[in-house]
Each structure stands twice: as structure tokens, then as C-alpha cells.
Structure 1
């Protein structure tokens, strides 16, 4: 209510010099204090002669503007109020753009090099002047893309991005005039949802002013684009349409291998700590109950997959191999993506794959031969000349064991009870929550950290690709912060695989800061944005609704070919998920013990995870909190939309 009468009028474009303009001024009480019009504004009002109303506390006080004879006095009032409202910010878009252009001209005049963005198409002044002027309309470009190989959605002056390919394609197709071909701002170019490096989208929307008279426009645009990017349609929208401002909500999908929900191997740091803390907290029975469907899995896998490999290995070699695979925690936490270092045995241990977990009967029902040292080291049959024969046998044995663990993981089929635990945990995210722990650089008291999740569902029908079982998760939210979805999926997976109470999700909304790693970006997909509010008005405006249902056949084919197949192929090549959870399990610190029976307080060092860590441990923690070698984006982005 501060400056209520003055500010509301000026914001509405009404001048305070209007005489006899009645305004009803209401006293407003908050925190037991009465807010009144500041004294410096009271001189501009004329009150009724029947009473002086010195406190302006009458809720039905009717006051009138006095006609201001002095224009300077009026100007002073307007400027002071605008300063209060805008705090010196430039509110005019054109003024901001002109300021940026002026700065660019100054740099050119001073001889500084101004780099042309890679997405800009430069035409000569003669070409621009000779081009026939054609009418432009505000339009919505509906598109889908595979983010593999791109540095995200948003335009970048130096990196290849989705918009960086789309904009010059629009220019080449004749949808952007030559005069505007170097600067997307001139066309009011706005995206609906920004995605980070490696993140895909089956449906996204870009709005801009463009030339839409060509009936073959969509075809011409697609001819200029990589097969990884497809434009579904170009729809003429209302003049005020903004794909960002008018988007009501967004739906994302995340694909994850079912073996990600296997518990940590008992030999890992996390595997040992979970049991230890459960015993200390008197929750051992509860912990075992939450892991009932995978109880004894590791022992059976070791018996079936690992024992045959070690049977013919000398005792001394076997001891070294076991140490290389299950060495103490400080040696077991390694940074992702590093090249193997000497000694070779220790380097091999760095990417150790923990064994799968699920009753082995599922694995036994699949056609998988028992691994042997000979069958699992075909690529390593030729011994390098400079490697000692004894060391070479150790290396081959370690590789065979790792390959056996991977085969067992691929054979894993998640039981219904495990899937029910996943859905129970996902339900804890639904509603308006404080997600400051699920992004970066936000405090608990930051209002922008409160986000609305409308639904978070697990598809009850897994799919099997090349022998690996995959699960599909879909989250529908009003908006998402940077890394939010990947951290939500990570938290859910940690809770399920570690036998944690799903209530820990609710605890994560509290003021205690915890370090939640983000799962690999390759599984994330923007399904489509939702424009319900705009669509309700579209018919009355004579415009088409912005929906993706009508393109479902083309989108499904594109998703399978350019997105799903790429995700499955990349995971097969990089083992990103196995590597990610391996690093989490082997990090030798209490950072992730908030998913133990001890709760968030058990992660004593999680607020300062780098304190008192060795250099190697710091590298390991950085690997877990990054993408664990998945090749996804760095810790940079827009800070608002997921990625």
C-alpha cells in the first residue's frame, strides 16, 4: 500500500494533474503498523474542508487531486515515484537495445575487435536495401530436437546450439528478412523452455515475428536443418504472444536403467555405512524390510558370476585382484573420465562396477552364459610387450570381473515391489515445495526456490533395449530450476536403492543444506510445454491452439530415431549410469549419508563437502556432482529452466 494512490495511477498511465479525480484511500495494517501516504506526497492532495484527517486513517477517506499549476512540480512528483517503482532500471526494451548497440559502436570506433556470433547471417547493405519488404506476423515455431552434440538450446555467440542452427535456417528459408538476419532480438526471438547441454526435446516452442506467407515454409526450414532438429509447424499467434510468458507448465521425461535401483555393494563405503548407521539408530529391521526384494542378491551374483572367474587364478593373484576391486574407500573413489594411471591394477579398480542386486532367479531366467576369464577379455587377448605377465593376468582378471558385473546388471529385471517404492517416493515431490536443495546458488529463504510439481509418474511398463531394462519417469511442473529434475531423480534413486524412508524427501525441503548429485543428462527429455490459458483464448482470437497432439505420429518416430536410440546407444558406450552410482557408492565421506537411517544430520560434512578432503577425494566428489563422465553440460546454464 506504500504510495498507493500515486503509484497505481502512474502505473496505469493517469497523470496526477487531473482535477477532481476521486481516489479511495484505504488504510492498510500489516505487522501491527499502519501504512500511510508519505508526508512528502501529502502536499499534493487537497482534503475536504469539513475535516483535516491528519492521520489519513479513515478507510473510506475520499481525496481529490489538486490541479497542479506548476508543471515542474508535476514532473518532480512523477520522476520521484517512477524512481521508487523502477529503482533506476531501464524499463524500455528499445532503450536497452539502443544502449547495447551504442556500446558496440564505441568498441568499433576504438578499434576493438567485435566478434560476429556464429548464428548471424550478414548481408551487404545493398542486398538489404534491394530486398522486397514483406509483412511479418507473430508466430509460434513448434520443434523437437536431440541435444546430443549441442551446447544446449539457447543462442551462443561461440558454441553450437539448437537455436544457433534454427535461426540461420529461418533466414535461409525466407522467414527472416535480411535486415534482421544478424540479430534475433530484432525479430523478438523468445524460446519457451531452455535446455542445457545434451538435453533433448520432443516438443518445444519458439516465438518471433517472421514472414509466414510461404505455404511450404515448414518444409523449407527443415531442409536447412540437421536431422536432429525438426520443425513440426509454424502457427500464427496473437500479437502479444510470448512462448515463455504464456507457457503454463512443462512436461519432462527421464529415462533410467532399472539396474540403477540396485543397492550399493556391501564392500563399498556407502554399502558398509548404511548397515552400520542402521544398527546405531536401531533401524536395522526397517532397513532390511525396505531392501527385502533385493536381499542376498550380491552374494548370489558373486557365487554365479565372479567365483568361476577366480577359480583358476593363483591365491596371490586373487588377493591382489580383490584388493584392486574392493580397495579401501580412499583408493576406491576416483574422478570420472580420467585416463588410467600407474599402477595399472589400481587404475582398473577406478571404474569398478558394483554387482547387481535383485534375486538371481531373474538373472537366471535370461540367456546369459557364465562368464570366464577367456570369454570376457577378448579385446585384451594381445599382451603389450612392456607389461609383466603377472600384472597382465591381474589386469585381464579385473576386466573379466567388471564385464561380469555389467552382464549381471543387464540381466536385472526390476520387481513390482521395487517399482512401488519408486512411485511412493516420487509422490513426495508433488505440490508446492521449497526445492532450494535441488538446484544451485539458492538459499532456503529464497522465494524463487518454491516450485509447483503437478505430477511425477513412473510408467509401470518398462522397456527392454539390447538386453537392458529401462524405466520412464514423467514430471509435470509449472517451471523448473537449473538441474532440478536431474537432482530430483537422483534423490529418488538414492532413497530407493539405499533402503531409505521416502519421508527423507520431505526432510530435504528443510533448512539443512545437503549435497544432492545430479544423474547423467543423457536421460532427460522435454516432452512438451503446455499453453492451456492461451489455448482457451485462441479460438476467440481466430488463432490455432498450440498443441502437439496433432503431430504425435511424426514426433513418436522422431523420438525413437533421434532421441531414444541415441540415449540407449550412448549409455551402452559410456556406461554413464553405472559410473555415476559407482562414484556415489565409493565416495569416502559422509556427504551422502542423509539417505541412511541417521537422516540429514548424519551427513555432517555435506554443507561443506570439500573441507578436509584429500586432492583425490575432492576430484572424486567433483566427479559425482558433475556428470560422472556422461559428457553432459558443465555447471552453467540459465538458472531457471532445467538442464
Structure 2
């Protein structure tokens, strides 16, 4: 599992002071020489045992002093020792300050947020840019631990963030650098941007100053995520599909959705008669073109907005992550607010976004979006979501990672704390004044970045690869019992309950390809083929320890 370079709170990662050794020819002052008694034997003081006869400097065991005992097991300084007789001038040590760095990035070309050996990560590229800009000294440039690097929110490989906060100790006024933010952005690729850096003088370039004790992870009390998807996912299952057949068996006869009413009777049954789940469906390109031309109605939009309210509040989200037992207390998470935006059309496709504001999120909690979308498109009452907080386990597939975006972390408690401290200070330019951490003051730049580097890329990949259509096909093609909780009664039947260690006849298999946001090695090509609907490796299961390490 990936190692975290985040320093523990309170650790001194600046290096211990070097002990100075006296040259052999140095003569100690009289008052520092060891006292001797008869025979020239040093008077070593009461309670100390003299060296045995015949002991020489070469054979004497080194005595560990109190200071060495105190420092035992601590991190040693890593600065190279100065050679005897060297006339190399010492580099002046510039002051460092604890800073909050507000950033945004497209995660497509990176193996996650935090630094890992031998792979390209957001923090790794960011650290290199600060070194090149002079904000990290040469002697600290070999190890991010030395600058106490930590992050507010961890993101997995390929996941994007319009806003995140990294705190680190930086040289805020490097020699010859007038605009540190501009210098760092110059040394960064276009898909990573620095919005602000705390502690540098307040100018039009920097608008935030934080307390020296600030830690982005411990000070962050909630996070906002956005999930962005094409509205055609809300079209009910196609007549002739496995899920359509399953719903027909559970719910009885029901009218076929008008979208499917014009289907060619030779390519699939839209008449409402019972069909086999193995019925051959028409070619996907024509089907997909009709889906992209579809537009959400008031009925579907209102159903979506009503269903999200069932996620708000404190609940046991064990069914919305992986490898978590119902009794695990870490399953309790609080969703503060969830909002469904108005749909927007880009090109031929209509898109919609859902903003989720929660105190914290579990690994693969985008399963919430699956339960939301599948309940609406199948006419399942949203009360089934409430039943999923109970002790019975069910299989909820994960939505494609392509649509996930960290909007930004929130620092409500920290902002309240400094607001109280600022009441006695009237001048925002006063050195003691502390500004709240607020991404909204950079909203215009952030929205431009999202449209140019995040949303545009999501749409381009979907346009060429039809990722969401391939995913919904795996849902609709399933003929087993794992999804029987999708029904007009809004209950969880015993047949769909998943029990740990118990084998199921036809379990739903997830595909690794839907965990990717790249698909083509970081470039969008006009010749990219659509994803195969029913191919791809099955996803490997994570053990409980791996799951805990990857929770955000």
C-alpha cells in the first residue's frame, strides 16, 4: 500500500543539530580538564566506574550521553557533513513559514494525490515545482517530509480536484522571486494550478494568511464532491434486457417507457410482451445516438432531487463502500447537504451534476450515485436507500470514476476560530490578521480550469469511448438476483441479500475499466473505439486493511 509522507503532528522534521567535534590537537581550558587524583587517574566522580586496566581509546566502548539517549530513535539530520579544512561558504538559511497551498488539478495523468516512489503523483510534481521556484531549499529538496507536507483530502489515481489544500513549510520570499504563485505555476504543467499560497504578503496575488499551527488534514472538517454524468443514464432499462426482465417478474405488467416505444419490432420487443433476457439487441451506435438526443423531464429531475435527500444526515454507509462489516463504527458518516444542479447540454449530450457535501467519505462511496440513478430509472421508491443503512448487505455497483470530482475541502471550524481572533484587529494587512480559507474568492479561475481541463476531458472521453453507456449496459445485461432490491415495493428481498463467505449462483461482476479516467494513456484521440460492453477484467477485492488505508 502507498506510503504516506505526511509528518505526524508535532514531529520535528527539520533535522537535529549537528554535534561539533573538537580536533585532536585542541587543548581544553584548565577549568574543563578532567580532575585527577593520585597516579594521574582521572577523577570521574561518584557513582561512576573507571575503565578496567588495559583499556585504550581503540577498545573503549562509547558512552552514550543523556542527550544521545534522549534522541535515540529520532530522525537524524541528513545534511552532508562539512569536510575538515573546507573553505566552502555556508549557504544562508532562509526563514520558512507554515503555509496553506490552495491547488486544483486534473488527475488523469497521475497515480493519485500523495507522493509515491517511482510514479508520477500530484504532490510529487507540486514539490518539484516549489523546489525549482526556490520555495524549498536545496538541502530539503530530497525529501518532502522535511517540509512537513500534508494534504486536506486524499484522491485516488485519476480523480480530479477543482480545489484541495496542501500545507508545508516554505520559503515565502525566495531571493529574486517577486510573484511566488506565478513562479510555481510557471514550473507546473497546465493540468495542475496553484490558486493561492498562505503567509506570503497580502497582495492581489495572495489573499490568505493562516495560523502557524495550521494542518490541512486536521483542520478540514468536511469535503465537497461533484459527480457529473449524462442524463441518458436515467432512461429505464431497454425492453429485452436482463434488468427489464427482472423488473417485469417482480412488478408485473407495466407500460414501456416512451423512449423505447419507437423501437423496431424486429430488433427488440417494445410491445410489453414478456421477453427472454437473452433477446438479441440492436447495434449500440444507433442506440447510443438516440440516448444522447434524449432530454430529462420534470418527472425524472424531481425524482432525482427527492431521492438525494435520503442520503442527508448521519447513516451507516457499510453498503456504499467495500469490505466493511455493519458493526464497524467507521461506517457512520454525516452528509451535510446534497444538491442536484440543472441539466446542461454540451454537444449532443445532456449532462447533470450532483454536489455532495459530507464530513468525510469512504472508499468507493460513489456507490451512492449508483443507488440514486438506478432507483430513479427503475421506479424504485427511494426508501430502499434507507433500508441499505440496515444490517443486511447488498451489492451496489460502483459508478464509473470518470465523473468524480473533488470540488474542495471546507474549513468551517478553523474559519470560525480565526474570525473570533480577528475581531480585535481592524486592518486586514495587520501581521496578526488571519484570513479564512475560502476557494470562492477564486471561483472565476476555478470554473475556467474545470471547463478547460476537467469537464471538457470527461466529455471528450465519453464522446469517443461511451464509458457511461458501456457501464449501464453491464447493469441492464445482468440476470442474477443481486439487484432484486430494484422493485416498485422499495424493499430488499432475501434473495438479493449478500452474506459474507456465502457463494452466490450468479453474482454481479464489476469491471476494472470503470475505475479508470484515462483509457488511452493520457490523450484523447478521435480514433478511440468504444468500450466493449461485456468485456474487461473483473475487479480484485480489497482486504479490510487496504480499505481502511484508502478511506478519505
Normalised to the residue count of structure 1, the TM-score between the two structures is 0.61
Name the structure 2 match of 1:429. Answer: 311
Cα separation, partners in 2 of 1:402 and 1:446, compared to 1, 3 Å: same
Q: For 1:272 and 1:208, locate their aligned partners in 2 and report how far apart those are by CA, in whole Å.
A: 56
Post-superposition shift, 1:588? 2.6
Q: 1:207 to 1:228 in 2, by over 3 A?
A: same
Deviations 1:301-355, CA, capped at 9 Å, x for gaps: x14xxx6xx7xxxxxxx89xx9xxx9975x79xxxxxxxxxxxxxxxx8xx7xxx
| Aligned counterpart for 1:160 among listed residues 110, 120, 128 | 120
Question: What secondary structure is seen at the aligned counterpart in 2 of 1:201?
Answer: strand
- What are the superposed Cα offsets for residues 115-149 of structure 1, whole Å, 9 maximum, x if unpaired? xxxxxxx9998999843210011000000001112
Match of residue 221, structure 2, among 227, 243, 248 = 248
What's the counterpart of residue 627 of structure 1?
Answer: 514
Change (3 A) 1:640 1:426: farther
CA distance in 2, matches of 1:95, 1:501: 62
Q: Give me the whole-angstrom Cα distance separating, in 2, the residues matched to 1:602 and 1:500.
A: 17
Please tell me whether the aligned partners of residues 426 and 457 of structure 1 are also in contact (alpha carbons under 8 angstroms).
Answer: yes
Shift of 1:299: 2.5
User: Take 1:578 and 1:557, find their aligned partners in 2: how far apart are those partners?
Assistant: 27
Q: Distance in 2 between matches of 1:622 and 1:181?
A: 42
CA contact (8 A) 2:392 2:498 kept: no
Check whether the contact 1:432–1:451 (CA below 8 A) recurs between aligned residues. yes
> Contact conserved, 1:481 with 1:640, CA < 8 A, in 2?
no
- In 1, Cα distance between equivalents of 2:164 and 2:228: 19
- Which secondary structure state, in structure 1, belongs to the residue aligned with residue 182 of structure 2? helix
Matching residue within 238, 258, 264 for 1:296: 258
Q: Identify if the C-alpha distance between structure 1 residues 635 and 469 changes in structure 2 by more than 3 Å, giving closer, same or farther.
A: farther
1:219 is displaced (CA, Å) by 0.9
2:140 is the alignment partner of 1:188: no
- The equivalences for 1:267-346 within 5 A come to 267-279=240-252, 288=254, 295-300=257-262, 302-303=263-264
The reply on whether 1:520 has 2:520 as its aligned counterpart is no
Segments of structure 2 that go 5 or more residues without pairing to the other structure are 1-70, 200-209, 422-431, 520-538
How has the CA–CA distance of structure 1 residues 496 and 243 changed in structure 2, closer, same or farther, with 3 Å as cutoff? Answer: same
Q: What residue in structure 2 maps to residue 553 of structure 1?
A: 444
The answer for the alignment partner of 1:468 in structure 2 is 349
User: Relative to 1, partners in 2 of residues 1:257 and 1:602: Cα closer, same or farther, differing over 3 Å?
Assistant: farther
- Equivalent of 1:443, from 325, 335, 348? 325
CA distance in 1 between partners of 2:494 and 2:304 (Å): 23
Of 234, 240, 262, the residue aligned with 2:197 is: 234
Task: Tell me which of 140, 145, 148 is aligned to 2:105.
Answer: 145
SS at match of 2:476: helix
The Cα offsets for residues 53-84 of structure 1, whole Å up to 9 and x where unpaired, read as xxxxxxxxxxxxxxxxxxxxxxxxxxxxxxxx
- Decide whether aligned partners of structure 1 residues 123 and 420 sit closer, same or farther in structure 2, where only a CA change above 3 A counts: farther
C-alpha root-mean-square deviation of aligned residues, in Å?
3.4
CA, structure 1 residues 582+542, in 2 after alignment: closer, same or farther (shift >3 Å)?
Answer: same
Deviations 1:270-318 (A, max 9, x none): 1111111123xxxx6xxx5xxx8x7332132x14xxx6xx7xxxxxxx8
| Residues 1:145 and 1:129: Cα distance change in structure 2 (over 3 Å) | farther
Runs of 4+ in 1 over 4 A off after TM superposition: 94-97, 122-130, 326-329, 628-643
The separation in 1 between residues aligned to 2:243 and 2:336, in whole angstroms, is 33
Q: Structure 2 CA distance, aligned partners of 1:264 and 1:278?
A: 14
Distance 2:339 2:192 in 1: 27
CA contact (8 A) 2:246 2:479 kept: no
Hey, what's the Cα distance between the residues in 1 that align with 2:293 and 2:129? 45
1:411 corresponds to 2:293: yes
TM-score by length of 2: 0.71
Contact 2:402 2:514 in 1 (8 A): no
Q: How far apart, CA to CA, are the structure 2 residues paired with 1:494 and 1:551?
A: 35
Q: How does 1:103-182 map to 2 (within 5 A)?
A: 130-182=90-142
- Over 3 Å counting, the alpha-carbon distance change for 1:169 and 1:276 in structure 2 is same
Distance 1:467 1:634, change over 3 A: farther
Deviation of 1:631 after TM superposition, in Å, equals: 4.7
Judging by fraction of residues, say which structure has more helix: 1
- The Cα of 1:538 is off from its aligned counterpart by 2.8
Partner-residue secondary structure (3-state), 1:138: strand
* Deviation (angstroms), 1:229: 0.2
Q: Is the CA contact 2:101–2:194 (under 8 Å) kept in the aligned structure 1?
A: yes
